[in-house]
Structure 1
């Protein structure tokens, strides 16, 4: 916009913010859904809400899993080293060493709608979570916990 009006970017920002009282907002990512999908989700949501309101639905079990990596997060804007010159800094201190596939662990947990929390389940590294593995985990570790 500033180039189109032959003015500096800073002047354009001041004009928009101060004179017009507007604020620039970032665009957000959205999922592309068809009208049919939106309507189907809306209907399923209504059915679930009605079941939850009426109390005919048993306790709901919410689950999630998270992959944790042991590689530290690096932010070049915040991670700085103070020195008089870059030659004073040893390479091992100055460099940030990264692995392509760092060691990781997947942790799985669940919580019931009545507030009961499942024990943490640590999924071994390299295990692909597919239908069979997930059902096996539910039957072997989660179901006994729910029944206890």
Structure 2
């Protein structure tokens, strides 16, 4: 594998809230933030989505597209967005192919049990489709603002 900073972001087409589809490569030359989160309507995922939603206008002003991705269905995403007044479009990866392509579908442990799940991760994809920065095992507080700073620095 090449340097993570030079690695091409795996391309994909996924359904997005609002009833359309998003193809990553079709968004070029706009930079794109992809934040992978474990599950709709859980505490950490709610805060993360709210933080990115609160900064969405600033990302847009910088010319950056932002998408949240989980394995939840579009129906679940729609309900989550309505319940929490979220504005960031959410992509549904029910087959987990994109999660696997980005290496975020991993073995996790909680309460002594081992299971497969999404490792909270964010990727900043530059206008040429390369991964400019990757955050793994994300801690939510302050994360969206840190990603915004990195996006502005592109």
TM score, norm. by length of structure 1: 0.27
Q: Going by fraction, where is strand more abundant, 1 or 2?
A: 2
TM score, norm. by length of structure 2: 0.26
Q: Going by fraction, where is helix more abundant, 1 or 2?
A: 1
